[in-house]
Structure 1
């Protein structure tokens, strides 16, 4: 019996090629591979034609799906090559790592001790291994990354470059695994496992090797991360593994295959491995020994697709430059760093923007794999796949924009599906506002599928076995457990858009209960916009507006009664919050276009506008709303402005009033000549200290206008000082010419001269 340990790097094309050659030579009768034994039952799916990497094994706790971990594979993953070798040669292949049924149980014990939530292992600590900063202490470096220790000793600052040159681009793999084993043995000499978790994992691996030996296998091939290789060569030399593993608790787990993407190969999950440039490694796998010319040609083709010049002569020059750089660095052939510099210099002419495209499309190479249709999935995921086929919505990692016409059956179905998924926290689609396009018959979405949506679907399956059932059940549960009226109305709006009649009926009942007892004016006003939006969708989604309007009217009556009192005694921050709520209520009233509601609302705003005890910001905003609606006559505006900006009013409150009235369209304000004259006169009367104090408020008041509008306002002020056709008026509204009496003024001049100590000359 012989044990052959192959220490590899996860996702390494050189390791994968060398491993395949070593297995062909060894012809093992069993393969033991670092991986989750919990997923062995889904390994036969590798033989299916639909299985196309990159893919990942997903292992998750059955009772808590967010406790999950991914094990990614691609063509150039050594584990993938080992598994496919076993399938092709009818050699049994087993995973030998510590089961995640134990991992998850240990995590829960730790979380209970720390009184914290269980982390999502699949999403946490996803870090790239692009480069490692060299710590001063070698021991610390060894703990952080043992490969970085070797690369640093070899004169490399970036261990990616060292591993790529020494391992992944190596053409002669003779003695490769022996060399890796020797190096790792030296690094681990006299050092115990890094932590208890690593000790348990390696003990379980040795136990698996011993079990295979007892079964009578003679040529045992062990494929593991290079760091573990030295402690697996002689399993019998390690005593105490049985006692170490005894009594470990387990939880029930599930496993399946899911599609994966190149970009996520850089994440550290499962066995904690990641690569910085999966597209480059895939290229090394496809073109061993001749990677540089093909890489440059691909780069030129990509740049030409974007309308940039990249001639054949430039490609040849880029290849020569990359080879020259490799020679200067005493390398047998160019690596990614050499190719990167050559492309930047020759094909991109030193511009970084095209290089970002090269990085995204080539070095990472976004691509999604596929898995067999009979791979284990939860019913909710199966229902989603059915809808995707029916509605012709294919998941893609590329960003796709949809313009949906809700009058068409297919587009309406797509909208309903995307809204239902949003309720279940699967944001496959994001609604997009398109400038210049409006109407209730159109929706615009930006779609991008992410592989970790599978976790959200597994979690959501507790609410139902179909997307519609799960979304409705989840919405009802959320409604019963929220006290916030705006949250409830937003949820109702989503249920209307998702066409969930059962949920809508339940939410309407909950809304009526909450509205009857809610006294918070802010909640009442902020609850209106979603409800008014629902009314506008009635024709397309067959929603009866007569169910919603009574609720809106009830909310509105309570708003107009309580709003004046709620606006009194507000500080600056509270005033800002109040006008935000008033703005939402105003947009709802304008959208409904119900005359009785509008009359009552604008009468309430007028009461607030005229109450001198209310904060100037709120009064100014109410004045502006009435002005925009052409309800405030010009004479009334002139009178109100004069009173508000009179010297009797504190300058700070006057400035806040100005800020409130200036909110909104700048074009409307440009036509209010009298308002500008009064504002100009008020600013002119301010002392230097007062003006300096109020300047931040005034600047903030004008900051919301676009640059062309601010320029037009500047011209407006300039013209005010040049106009002579109309006498200017003081802040009290009196004509300056009518109020100045030259004869009376001359009578006080002698007395004024005596006070000032000057000679009076009445000539």
Structure 2
């Protein structure tokens, strides 16, 4: 019987290569891997052709799926190589870390920080070796090597010395973890295993090399609280490998490590070749001469630093000097495409998963929407059934809190029949789907149940109308009628003008989308009619007695409601709306900010001509009106556009005269408000207004600039002009000058 300890870095290509060779030489009959024992039944899937890393073991509490932890694996992870070896040779493999069933209960303690040496125990050795960080030191010392068993003996000796210097760990969770690992080793020995291979983090090797009494470890593990845990495989990404999870490991350059794993000793030259290929793909200057020069520079830097071969630091410095001409833009491209090299793993369909996740995966496969980690664009024409189904899938996922797609604004396309999305799958969505599975086993049923719950919990019209828009986009037809009744009920009891106005845009959008999605919204039209009628009645009175902060909020609601009324394209609604706006604009009791905006809308829509607008402005700028009230009215009337003021002489003269008539102290008081208004104008509008103000009386002259006349050259053309015009006095007139 023999126990062999293989201390590794959890995502290290050098460790993985050495471990693969060591396992092949040892031919163990039992492999213990640092990881969650709850996933033992999932280990054989490592031999499945469709389980392609990067992947992760997901462990979660079924009662609260948001409490979850991931154990990620790359193809160059030593643990993955152990899993693959066990699957290939039929070797029994078990995970030997402290079960997450206990660790979930200890999570608060697990997050505790220890002293410096326990936070990063290798940092001391890296600094002693003359390296600025642990990553570079470990990369040069271990990851670029492939020494098989000799490497692990050296790691064990190094960690033993380091732990003797650091002293025993004070973290209670770490103590319990190592006690559980020793217990797992004893169990394998008790079962009569002849060659036991233990794959664990290098830091744990000294604690497992000598086994104390079984009773001492049992005492450490006595009385631990336990929770029910479920596990599954999920796709992972290279970008997420930079995060610490599960066994608390992450790497800064997963793309480089995959490159090391695949190309070994010639990794540097292959890396520079890929850099050149990437830059040329993006129309940047890169040639074979650049590759040769960069390789020579990287090797020279490594020699100067007394390192066996060029590592990532030397290669990136050479790339910057040779390829990038001191520009950061190519470096950012290289970091994103090569250092990270974003990739998403795959998981076979027969891996255990909740029914909701299986339903989503089936729909993604049926609709030919591959799951990818990088950002992709998706253009949808909703008149095509397949495109409409894709849109429904994305909207339903978004409703459930899985934002796989982010909808982009569309201009100049086919209006309501066109949608544009950006898709990017994140591994955390697996947890979100598990959490959402409490609403239903299929995407349709889960989204419908969640929408019904939100409708029951909502108490304001804007919440309900936004939800109506959402369920229509998600094609949740079973939720439409109950939500319609809820909107009718709440709308009848809503007297607040702001809530009535805020509800209109979403309802109008629902009516607009109805034709594109083949949903009958006739009943909703009557709801819109009733809400708009109540809003028109309430508007003139709702503008009165409003505080400044409330007026600012109501201003945005009026603007949005006005746009919604225009989208309706109903003359009856438009007439009632404009009548309500005119009543609010002409009332002295209305808040001046809101009255000004009402006047602006009426002017823009042709309900007021320039003369009517000028008369209203003159009333607001009269000496009897407090200057602050006038300034608020101007803000509402002009906010967002200075075109009315720039192109109307009557309006300009009234505003200009009012400003010139203000005493210095009043003008100083009004200046912040005026500047806030002018700041909403476009740059050309501000420039034109400034030029107009610089002219005497505010009149902007458009005459061409004067050009100096050369009298000598001018006299040369006089005979020709005399002949053309038949005048005898032209020359005399010029001579007289």
TM-score by length of 2: 0.92
Contact 1:677 1:720 in 2 (8 A): no
Structure 1 residue 344, shift from structure 2 partner: 0.7
Superposed CA offset, 1:164-203 (max 9, x none): 1111112445632122212222222273333121121111
Contact 2:400 2:447 in 1 (8 A): yes
User: Partner residue of 1:446?
Assistant: 422
User: Partner residue of 1:161?
Assistant: 136
Structure 1 residue 271, shift from structure 2 partner: 0.5
- After the TM superposition, which of the residue ranges 153-162 and 306-315 deviates more from structure 2? 153-162
5+ long unaligned stretches in structure 1:
112-120, 128-138, 726-763
Matches of 2:468 and 2:415, distance apart in 1: 20
Matches of 1:543 and 1:515, distance apart in 2: 22
Matches of 2:148 and 2:309, distance apart in 1: 16
Mapping 1:120-159, distance limit 5 Å: 140-159=115-134
Contact 1:29 1:91 in 2 (8 A): yes
2:207 pairs, out of 231, 239, 242, with 231
Give the secondary-structure state (helix, strand or coil) at the position aligned to 1:548. helix
Superposed CA offset, 1:288-318 (max 9, x none): 1221111100000000000011011111000
Matches of 2:489 and 2:103, distance apart in 1: 46
Distance 1:720 1:526, change over 3 A: farther
Structure 1 residue 100, shift from structure 2 partner: 1.1
Structure 1 residue 249, shift from structure 2 partner: 2.8
Query: Are residue 333 (structure 1) and residue 309 (structure 2) matched?
Result: yes
Superposed CA offset, 1:570-604 (max 9, x none): 23212111111111221121111222222222122
User: Partner residue of 1:747?
Assistant: none
Superposed CA offset, 1:634-653 (max 9, x none): 22212111111112211112
Contact 1:141 1:149 in 2 (8 A): no
Aligned residue pairs, count: 700
Give the secondary-structure state (helix, strand or coil) at the position aligned to 2:57. strand
Give the secondary-structure state (helix, strand or coil) at the position aligned to 2:515. helix
Structure 1 residue 71, shift from structure 2 partner: 0.6
Mapping 1:99-118, distance limit 5 Å: 99-107=99-107
Contact 1:676 1:717 in 2 (8 A): no
User: Partner residue of 2:300?
Assistant: 324
Give the secondary-structure state (helix, strand or coil) at the position aligned to 1:323. helix
Matches of 2:355 and 2:688, distance apart in 1: 61
Matches of 1:515 and 1:243, distance apart in 2: 65
User: Partner residue of 2:57?
Assistant: 57
- After the TM superposition, which of the residue ranges 310-319 and 80-89 deviates more from structure 2? 80-89
User: Partner residue of 1:755?
Assistant: none
2:328 pairs, out of 335, 352, 363, with 352
TM-score by length of 1: 0.88
Over aligned residue pairs, what C-alpha RMSD do you find? 2.1
Distance 1:638 1:438, change over 3 A: farther
Give the secondary-structure state (helix, strand or coil) at the position aligned to 1:614. coil
User: Partner residue of 2:289?
Assistant: 313
Matches of 1:430 and 1:649, distance apart in 2: 49
Structure 1 residue 694, shift from structure 2 partner: 1.5
1:489 pairs, out of 453, 465, 469, with 465
Query: Are residue 499 (structure 1) and residue 475 (structure 2) matched?
Result: yes
Matches of 2:314 and 2:505, distance apart in 1: 57
Mapping 1:21-36, distance limit 5 Å: 21-36=21-36
Structure 1 residue 237, shift from structure 2 partner: 4.9
Distance 1:171 1:388, change over 3 A: closer
Matches of 1:22 and 1:391, distance apart in 2: 45
Contact 2:444 2:476 in 1 (8 A): yes
1:550 pairs, out of 526, 545, 551, with 526
Contact 2:13 2:260 in 1 (8 A): yes
User: Partner residue of 2:660?
Assistant: 684
Contact 2:410 2:418 in 1 (8 A): no
2:258 pairs, out of 249, 261, 282, with 282
Matches of 1:214 and 1:100, distance apart in 2: 24
Contact 2:693 2:699 in 1 (8 A): no
Distance 1:230 1:395, change over 3 A: same
Structure 1 residue 205, shift from structure 2 partner: 0.8
Distance 1:547 1:669, change over 3 A: farther
Structure 1 residue 244, shift from structure 2 partner: 2.2
Structure 1 residue 719, shift from structure 2 partner: 6.3
5+ long unaligned stretches in structure 2:
702-737
